[in-house]
Amino acid sequence: MALNNSRVRAIGGISLTAAALALLPSLGLPSFYESFFYVLFYWIALATSWSILSGYAGYFSLGHAAFLGAGMYTSATLATKFGWPFLATIPAAAAVAALLGCGIGTLVFRLPRLRGELFALMTLAVTFILATVILNTPIDGGPGVYLSGVPTPKLVDSQTGSIYLLGLATCMGTLAIAWAVSHSRFGLGLYAISDDEDVAEVKGVPTFRYKMAAFALSAGIAGAVGGVHAIYVGFLTVGETFGIAVPLSVILMSVLGGARHWLGPTIGATLITVALFGFASAGQSIVGRAVVAFMLIVAVLCLPEGIVPAWLKRRRLASLRQEAKAAPANSESDSAMKRRDAAPNVVRVADVQAVRQLTPKSPGHESRPSEGRVVLSVEDVRKSFGGLQALRGASLEVFEGEILGLIGPNGCGKTTLINMITGHLPLTSGAVKLDGETISGLPAHLIARRGIARTYQIPRPFAHLTTLENVEMCALFGGRDAASCRDESMHWLQFCALDHRAKALPAELNLRERKVLELARALAARPRVLLLDEVMSGLNPSEVDTAIRLVRQIRAQGTSIVFVEHLMRAVVQLSDRVAVMNEGSLLTAGRPEDVMRDERVVGIYFGHAHAA
């Protein structure tokens, strides 16, 4: 319901703003105002289109002028040389720019090393290459392209008014697209990619497809903006169209306003454009540029994430403080929460029934399942990093409903094996099967959708998403129904006793809470096999007891668990079987008490006796 209300407000706000601004040509004002607002719309649309790829997905681009220029020259060429109606050239301009983006993305996104500054340099190089091609072909040829003979679509009586309306339509359409993306499953996936692309893939986000879609959308909008801008400037030259000033201006506007928020580039573009026009009209253009530069320096130092995110953060913190002051009488106080976390055997009243139903009556092994159907099998898996063999033919089986403890000395390949199972790293050889079906070789997001989830030894939450949004993202991409996704996420936060921190960002959580968040994210996908990578490392004894209780509850719901841990007390208490790895292969497996007495296991931990 809240999302529907937000959608109605956003669509209504954009529509009312567009309707009000569309009346400007009918007011009889000097054409200066129409030109000024057109330039403002141009920068807003261009900056917003840049933020879809570089702000939402985090792929910083210096080549936005390539897509703008591709759109401008497409419209100019079709209108001047082929006689197309100008309005018909705008969709063609968007399509050409989008195809250019897809071509670049197909190459770049297949190479994981081309991220960060390498991606930025790659896009900048594409701009120079495209400019050189256009300059040395009949598309431009050197003298430039004149559009003086191209008739402007007559939307109103004046030419400037018609161009103004085209700019307004492009701007409002771009804002509507940006809002829709930011409030969709697609947008949530892009935000996850921006924060941690590898984790996003393992959690079920089809990262390659989403990056390609974001690149095509960003480039396509820039192409459409360029198509409209071609008729505004009237004369195209390669130097002006593909200059470095365009992408730098777009970046500064987006960074100032906040590139991760759909409204941020609008705020940044408005402030910079108004400032530059104001000083230029007073004959102080150089002073205007200096003032804008000073504004940006202050913003970067004081508001590194931009004006809109900083304002939203202050609102969120103020809301949390108000909620803490106005907490209902029947809610837990902060001191009660601390006492509950500190006492290993104290749980909330709401958890008592679940614990009685799900936890064995005694800490013994009587509730542990006997060996039955194999749900996960690892067959002779090998992994080499150059000349280093991390896994040397590791094999193990996980039975339905069991907890398998996986132990071994540091560097023996436990985490590498988890990375192989989840598809985070490709196998050198061997196979991983889920219910007899080979899953090795599949993309990590497809493996996640088949029912395998993991936690990380060092928590890797999505830094710019709240605790609830972190869990919600994993539930959504883990196959949960979008309509019930938020309720499902709150259920798992309550299950892990983290619901009181639902609105907190990961940076505001302590180590125990981040560990629990890792667990809640994995559970939100309702996995069939859960891989826990040292979830108890760094916890104090009372927190370990709480974690043990949670793991028992998870297993009681039918989930098979592979449990990597160095804390032997937890391994013995929880494991139905224990598998021991050493030097990249499986050393032994069996009941915990038998494995712990195995001389080979004792030897790899404590060493072997040698004669003097």
pLDDT digits (tens, 9 = 90+) for 269-278: 999 999 998 8
Whether the CA torsion 84, 88, 93, 95 is positive or negative: it is negative
Model confidence pLDDT, tens digit, residues 378-409: 999 999 998 889 999 999 999 999 999 999 99
Of the candidates 101, 114, 35, which has an alpha carbon nearest to the alpha carbon of residue 67?
101
The band of 4, judged by pLDDT with boundaries at 50, 70 and 90, is: low
Model confidence pLDDT, tens digit, residues 177-219: 999 999 999 999 999 999 999 999 999 999 999 999 999 999 9
Helices 207-233 + 185-195 axis angle, to 10: 100
The band of 537, judged by pLDDT with boundaries at 50, 70 and 90, is: confident
Averaged pLDDT for residues 342-350: 36
**% pLDDT > 70, the chain:** 90
User: How far is residue 213's CA from residue 502's CA, in Å, rounded to a whole number?
Assistant: 30
- Look up tokens 């220029």; give the residue: 69
Report residue 167 as tokens. 């700019």
Averaged pLDDT for residues 310-334: 73
pTM over 0.85: yes
Q: Which residues contact 152 (CB under 8 A, 6 or more apart)?
A: 86, 159, 162, 163, 231
List the domains of the chain with CATH numbers. 31-243 (no CATH), 374-606 (3.40.50.300)
User: How far is residue 474's CA from residue 465's CA, in Å, rounded to a whole number?
Assistant: 12
Model confidence pLDDT, tens digit, residues 21-39: 999 988 888 889 999 999 9
Residue 5: the pLDDT is 67
Averaged pLDDT for residues 245-259: 93
Averaged pLDDT for residues 345-372: 40
- Sheet strands side by side (includes 437-438): 388-399, 374-385, 429-434, 437-438
Report residue 50 as tokens. 């840049």
Averaged pLDDT for residues 441-466: 94
Question: Is 472 within 8 Å of 466 (Cβ atoms)?
Answer: no
Q: In the chain, what is the greatest distance between 2 CA atoms, to the nearest angstrom? A: 104
User: Is residue 361 scored above 80 in pLDDT?
Assistant: no
Report residue 123 as tokens. 């896009």
Mean pLDDT of the chain: 88
| Range 263-286 burial, b when 16+ CB lie within 10 A, else e | bbbbbbbbbbbeebbebeeeeeee
Give 460-463 contacts, CB < 8 A, sequence gap 24+.
460/196, 460/199, 460/518, 461/506, 461/514, 461/517, 461/518, 461/521, 462/191, 462/192, 462/195, 462/196, 462/199, 462/200, 462/506, 463/195, 463/196, 463/505, 463/506, 463/507
Q: 463 — phi, psi (to 5°)?
A: -65, -30
Vertex 490 angle, CA 489 and 491, to 5°: 90
The helix/strand count (H/E) of the chain reads as: 25, 12
Model confidence pLDDT, tens digit, residues 96-123: 999 999 999 999 998 878 888 899 999 9
- Look up tokens 């958890």; give the residue: 351
Residue 359: the pLDDT is 33
Averaged pLDDT for residues 148-161: 90
**% pLDDT > 90, the chain:** 67
The band of 340, judged by pLDDT with boundaries at 50, 70 and 90, is: very low
One-letter identity of residue 30: P
